[in-house]
Structure 1
């Protein structure tokens, strides 16, 4: 049950707490400082546009008096002219700012807003709105804004990680479709990809659904493992033959002149028929495409080079020294 105050306005706990806030002794607040504190409060509390307009208009009315409280007394007509809002909207927003502990109404007996002057005509007090909490709580606004900045950075990194996992999954699906179109698990992974894509919001200030990042990372691991297993389905250990005999010739050393003096019994590349290559090198089946001629053999060599543990520089050197087909 709320008890009405003598001025007819209902009491609010936030407004009572705001009344206890006070400026430092001898502190004079400029209009610029008050407006800056109001802007920080707007961003920290995520005020609506209309609330921001009214709060900014109130802060702009501060006359920089050397008072203990930051009092302003603009009329509703003045606030309407500055904000473009209706009087009813102005009254509602002031009540909202009061509940937020930003603005404390200081009502006169007839609820009018006006300044109190002394015999010399100097303004010594006023009835209207007390904006002291806005300035006194500026440390609170700074802490909230700092926390919001940290949360934005965390959100951005999370979105980035989701994007990385999504693109990696998409690239793996494309590779599966290109090299292993009939793989039985590809359609299941594609269905999971579509479902996760529908759950993923566009990059914005919205929070990601709980567990979405982990789901994307799990799907990426599943897709990459499926592709690895599909490419590793050929015969195993067919290159682990051990030769304990001494070589009959010296090891080949990198030298352009020695490369030109290749042994005469090497023969021409014409004897390297595709059927012989397939029979001698079962791993070539991992290429996933039919081997019809030497061009396909070279393409398979380039594709399988990394899976066989050969560095790109080794391939380039072999091509330069002995040609693409022998390489």
Structure 2
């Protein structure tokens, strides 16, 4: 839909080429485009940093949306709202007139709204004989609707980055705790090693952790900390194995000495020593069992780490896109080039299919962000056959928790339906 004429600003506000381009872009959208205005507003709030708007400007946008009579913004209907300054100020939490004008200008500059000024600069509506709106002058919400896909993709990308950063911070916290306690345990049990040097290196790394952590500055530090932790665990396990081997060797030597007939006489004291030696053997076994249990604790930690790593393993992006080509259209710029794009597209699809945030977060906690994004791609591919995408995702999460669900069969079934050969699976 394109406007038939250019709307120039009223009064002293100048016209510019940038303003003209924003008007054209805001009014050029696909026919039938609709969005729930409050869901779209939440996406704008999520993508606030990328759009270059302030929280006060969002308050004004919230007030403008409240004047639109329906919940669904539609390209087939008028998108101009025409509140008076007094009413707009009241719905903007009593914002002063000068402040209101400043933040309206911010929204126009950000390309979220446009002005449609009347000949005298007033905001009003002209109705026909049937009561319908023939012409309205005020603020147009068309740019907001026209940029809906862009805004939703931006919000999804920011949400994915925030999720990844939060997971990285959690890993960093656990790694710091593990290193500190393992060093303390090694010192308490007098395990041979250069623990002072390790502790000094550990504290030096802690000093390098930035206050403002990002996805760019945190991964190298986390990798160094995990290397230190792995080195400590290997040293402790080597010590445990040496201790267990030494205990077993001592037990075997005592058994040989006590079973040697030449070392025993027929006197009663010798028999007592033999019985004492036999009573000592279970004690040695128990000590070995205790040491084994201490080793099992560390083995469990490593097993958990291996489990977490296995949970992140998934299918190659090429395989996913062959099985679920529809997801590509929801990525940033209409393409999915990597895993982060896939997760961002899945967040957009989640909103579009009406899957609740709680159901999606529960799935990510169980299956991981990457696998959950692949599941959403599969659900999108079969959207016409699924009555409740949110309920279906919850059921898959429950089955995954019980060990009854795997991604492989789902993807392979979609590949077979499309008549394509399967392949590109990452072990």
For residue 152 of structure 2, the aligned residue among 138, 142, 147 is 142
Distance 2:99 2:295 in 1: 74
Conserved? CA contact 2:25–2:146, under 8 Å = no
8 Å CA contact retained: 2:26, 2:144: no
What is the aligned-residue RMSD (CA, Å)? 4.6
How far apart are 1:109 and its partner, in Å?
3.5
Structure 1 segment 127-276 matched on structure 2, within 5 A = 127-180=137-190, 185-200=194-209, 207=215, 209-228=218-237, 239=249, 267-269=274-276
Is the Cα contact below 8 Å between 1:57 and 1:82 reproduced in 2?
yes
Alpha-carbon distance, 1:217 to partner: 0.8
Matches within 5 A, 1:112-131: 112-118=122-128, 123-131=133-141
Structure-2 separation of matches of 1:179 and 1:308: 14
- 2-side partners of 1:222 and 1:49: how far apart? 47
1:114 CA displacement? 2.1
- Residues 119 and 302 of structure 1, relative CA distance in 2, 3 Å threshold: closer
Contact persistence 1:73–1:114 (CA under 8 A):
yes
Distance in 2 between the 1:231 and 1:136 partners? 65
Report the counterpart of residue 61 of structure 1 in structure 2: 67
Whole-angstrom distance in 2 between the partners of 1:38 and 1:307: 54
- Runs of 5+ unmatched residues, structure 2: 1-7, 254-258, 260-270, 297-427
Q: 1:43 is matched with which residue?
A: 46
Task: Count matched residues.
Answer: 262
Q: Which moved more, 1:88-97 or 1:151-160?
A: 151-160
Matches of 2:221 and 2:237 in 1, distance apart? 24
Partner of residue 89, structure 2: 80
SS of structure 1 residue aligned to 2:28: coil
1: CA distance, partners of 2:37 / 2:194: 63
Q: What TM-score do the two structures reach when normalised by structure 1?
A: 0.62
CA distance in structure 1 between the partners assigned to 2:9 and 2:158 by the alignment: 40
Instruction: Say if 2:58 is the partner of 1:52.
Output: yes
Q: CA deviation at 1:76?
A: 2.3
Cα offsets for 1:56-113 (capped at 9, x unmatched): 1101112459975400111222222112222222112111111221100112334322
1:72–1:126 Cα contact (<8 Å) kept: yes
For residue 320 of structure 1, what is the aligned residue in structure 2? none
User: What residue ranges of structure 1 are gaps of 5+ in the alignment?
Assistant: 244-248, 250-263, 278-293, 310-327
Mapped partners of 1:70, 1:308: distance in 2? 68
TM-score by length of 2: 0.49
The equivalent position to 2:27 in structure 1, one of 5, 20, 24, is: 20
Give the Cα separation in 2 of the matches to 1:308 and 1:151.
37
- Residue 34 of structure 1 contacts residue 134 of structure 1 at CA under 8 Å; is this kept in 2? no
Aligned partners of 2:130 and 2:14: how far apart in 1? 33
- Answer 1 or 2: which has greater helix percent: 2
Larger radius of gyration: 1
